[in-house]
Amino acid sequence: MKKYIPLTLRIAVAIILIQTLRFKLTGHEDSVWIFEQVGLEPFGRIGIGIAELIAGILLLIPKTVWAGAAMTVGIIGGAVMMHLTILGIEVPYNGEMDGGQLFITAVITLLLGATILYLYKKDIPIIGKKVH
């Protein structure tokens, strides 16, 4: 049972990361608005979308889980900070405020990414392996 929990977390975070790509990479108006507010439109939107795709793939490959988790923490940590400093908790979605759903999803993804990174800390090169 315990071995399935990390896999479930990895799949959940990968799904969250990859499902947001349709907004970022197709130039959805809400995604464009968000990245305009933080001064990263269009290159930041596309670059972060590609980085999230890479992180999602790395989370699904056993030898690179730690790298995907580290990328997730970095990327989503930045998203949380943008919400707290520039965007606010609520952002527009389909013409209405989202009630903080995007922010809550980011916080959950950040916590799950950090948990995965902790669970796979032994796999991190140099710092994860004990030298005798």
- Decide: 6 and 119 in contact? Cβ < 8 Å: yes
- 128 assigned to some structural domain: no
42 within a domain of the structure (yes/no)? yes
Confidence of residue 128 (pLDDT cuts 50, 70, 90): confident
Mean per-residue pLDDT of the chain:
94
Residue range(s) defining the domain that contains residue 28: 4-123
With respect to residue 45, please indicate whether it lies within any of the assigned structural domains.
Answer: yes
Q: Tokens at residue 9, please?
A: 């977390």
Domain assignment of residue 70, yes or no: yes
User: 6-54 pLDDT, tens per residue?
Assistant: 999 999 999 999 999 999 999 999 999 999 999 999 999 999 999 999 9
Q: Give a yes or no: residue 83 inside a domain.
A: yes
pLDDT tens by residue, 62-119? 999 999 999 999 999 999 999 999 999 999 888 899 999 999 999 999 999 999 999 9
Q: What is the pLDDT of residue 93?
A: 86
Report if residue 129 sits inside a domain.
no
DSSP string, 59-79: HHSGGGHHHHHHHHHHHHHHH
| Tally of domains within the chain | 1
Q: With 60 as the cut, is the pLDDT of residue 132 above it?
A: no
86 within domain boundaries: yes
Residue 130 maps to a domain? no
| 3-state DSSP assignment of residue 97 | strand
Please tell me the pTM assigned to this model: 0.92
Q: Cβ–Cβ contacts within 10 Å for residue 104, how many?
A: 13
